[in-house]
Structure 1
Amino acid sequence: MSYGQVTPAGQSAPSCYRHPGTVSYVSCNRCGRPVCPQCQVPAPVGVQCVECVHEANKKIPSQRTEFGARARQGVPIITYSLIAVNVLAYILQWVVPAATGYMYLVPMRADSEPWRLITSAFAHSTGSIFHLAMNMYGIYLCGVFLEPRLGRARFSWLYLLSTLGGSLGILLLSPPLSATLGASGALAGLFLSLFVVFRTNKQVLRQMAIVLVLNVVLGFVVSGISWQGHLGGAVVGALAAACIVLVPRNPQRTKIQFSLLGVLTIVVAVAIYLAAVAVK
């Protein structure tokens, strides 16, 4: 196949294969096709066309984190997004005060209003912004450590399971007519996940153990803190992290990780359904 157009002298002038109307005497050093300045990609020797560069990039193996996720540069997008959703939900609670009544979790209503299992983890007490601020700061601290190592998809799934785990703990252990809201259950899951991720780093484990003991004590001593949600989120979050972190390196690791997370999700969903029916 030839690329070109006929000149008045009857000679064929080469033209860009992507822009036939543009004459170009420069060719891709891989495929040899003429390329105009718009389609030229600088190479160590000469230039290449965009298609050759695209094909070459596909053959370059993507860098992976220690747990098999795609390595990414920049800010932890999922962490910031979760914080943004929580803040927007808090603003909604102030703008529309009645919204809080549709968001908090009441065990007795869980079977007929299942959305509360999720929305309760994004609503916070409007009595003090301290509740929101502390939870968002905790999500940020855990997120900047976990998301780059686990990857966006795994971290998102971990957060969802921790949220559901917190709701499960409330259904099983809280009074049927109690009302609970806040991201503490999900945060507890993220915090326990750090123990799984850094399980071989004794110095980090000692520091986190101190914080964990203080949180456990506060959960039982200070009124208004849902230790039930903390416990459920922590247990399920740790199990979810184990599904990701403890899978050994092998070509099927990603498939195994997501399969285990899928099974855990089904187990948690069934447990929530049974607990909601039992409460009713």
Structure 2
Amino acid sequence: MNLERIFRQAPATNTISLAIVAVYLITAFQSRSLANNLSFSSLGDSWILYAPAMTHGFGPLRAVGAIFLHIGPGHMLLNLMLLWLLGRELEKYFGAALFMLIYLIGGIGASAAVVWMDPLSPTAGASGAIYAMMAILVGLFARRGADLRAPMVLIAVNLGYTFLATNVSLWGHLGGLITGALLAWPLMKATTRRAQWKITICALIAVVIVLFWGIPYP
């Protein structure tokens, strides 16, 4: 199987993955470190999610930029693995463009939760968007009448890791999971692609409003 065929199978998932890798390499180059790639990176400083830094100019765009940043190669590779496993399945069902928008909504929803509930903790990573994908995958399995145990176990294991591990964004993960759960039901009830697009656009507007309301403007 050649690379072109792999890319065609899931273009949005692969594009997101390549963007994550590219951002990591830029931050590693700027910081001169693979492990501490955000320590002295101007891109990392500009994109990391930190509510007090979102009060001026393009600061709110950190809610999107942060979901492409990762702290070290292990953090990045774990999220890339989950993105690859989940993304291909969801992209096959929704199509590339709609899946891309759903991914961004999950990430912004996670960012909004951090801004509201843990605003003084600098946060980075695609985990929030991935948790949203997990919730939507449960909805997809339910719609197909498939066995729900696999996606539910995946969520349970990852939530267990969230609560037990240190230096993990609890609200980023919970925010993504809640966003995905709220989005999954109407998406799976929609009978046409047009209806799915309307629901997704409304969801995007909603998470952006929630995000902006949480930003501590001076």
Superposition TM-score, scaled by structure 2 size: 0.85
| Distance in 2, Cα, partners of 1:216 & 1:167 | 17
1:236: Cα distance to partner?
1.3
* RMSD of aligned alpha carbons: 1.8
Write out per-residue CA displacement over residues 1-54 of structure 1, whole angstroms, 9 at most, x where no aligned residue.
xxxxxxxxxxxxxxxxxxxxxxxxxxxxxxxxxxxxxxxxxxxxxxxxxxxxxx
Asked if the contact 1:159–1:237 (Cα under 8 Å) also holds between the matched residues in 2, the reply is no
1:77 corresponds to 2:21: no
After TM superposition, list the pairs within 5 Å mapping 1:22-41 onto structure 2.
Answer: none
Write out per-residue CA displacement over residues 137-165 of structure 1, whole angstroms, 9 at most, x where no aligned residue.
00000011110111112211110100101
Aligned length: 200
Please point out which of 185, 188, 194 is paired with 2:131: 188
Which secondary structure state, in structure 1, belongs to the residue aligned with residue 79 of structure 2? helix
Asked if the contact 1:106–1:179 (Cα under 8 Å) also holds between the matched residues in 2, the reply is yes
| Distance in 1, Cα, partners of 2:168 & 2:106 | 17
After TM superposition, list the pairs within 5 Å mapping 1:78-227 onto structure 2.
Answer: 78-97=12-31, 98=41, 99-112=43-56, 113-126=59-72, 129-174=73-118, 176-200=119-143, 204-227=147-170
Percent same amino acid at aligned positions? 25
**Residue type of the alignment partner of 1:117:** A
Asked if the contact 1:103–1:120 (Cα under 8 Å) also holds between the matched residues in 2, the reply is yes
Gaps of 5+ in 1: 1-72
Which secondary structure state, in structure 1, belongs to the residue aligned with residue 215 of structure 2? helix
Which secondary structure state, in structure 2, belongs to the residue aligned with residue 225 of structure 1? coil
Asked if the contact 1:123–1:181 (Cα under 8 Å) also holds between the matched residues in 2, the reply is yes
| Aligned match of 1:247 | 190
Please point out which of 183, 190, 208 is paired with 1:269: 208
After TM superposition, list the pairs within 5 Å mapping 1:5-20 onto structure 2.
Answer: none
Gaps of 5+ in 2: 1-6, 32-40
Asked if the contact 1:83–1:136 (Cα under 8 Å) also holds between the matched residues in 2, the reply is yes
**Residue type of the alignment partner of 2:65:** T
| Distance in 2, Cα, partners of 1:179 & 1:245 | 34
After TM superposition, list the pairs within 5 Å mapping 1:48-87 onto structure 2.
Answer: 74-87=8-21
1 or 2 for the larger relative contact order (CA 8 Å, sep ≥6)? Answer: 2
1:203: Cα distance to partner?
5.9
* Stretches (4+) displaced over 3 A: 200-204
Asked if the contact 1:162–1:189 (Cα under 8 Å) also holds between the matched residues in 2, the reply is yes
1:94: Cα distance to partner?
0.7
| Distance in 1, Cα, partners of 2:203 & 2:49 | 22
Query: Which has the larger helix fraction?
Result: 2
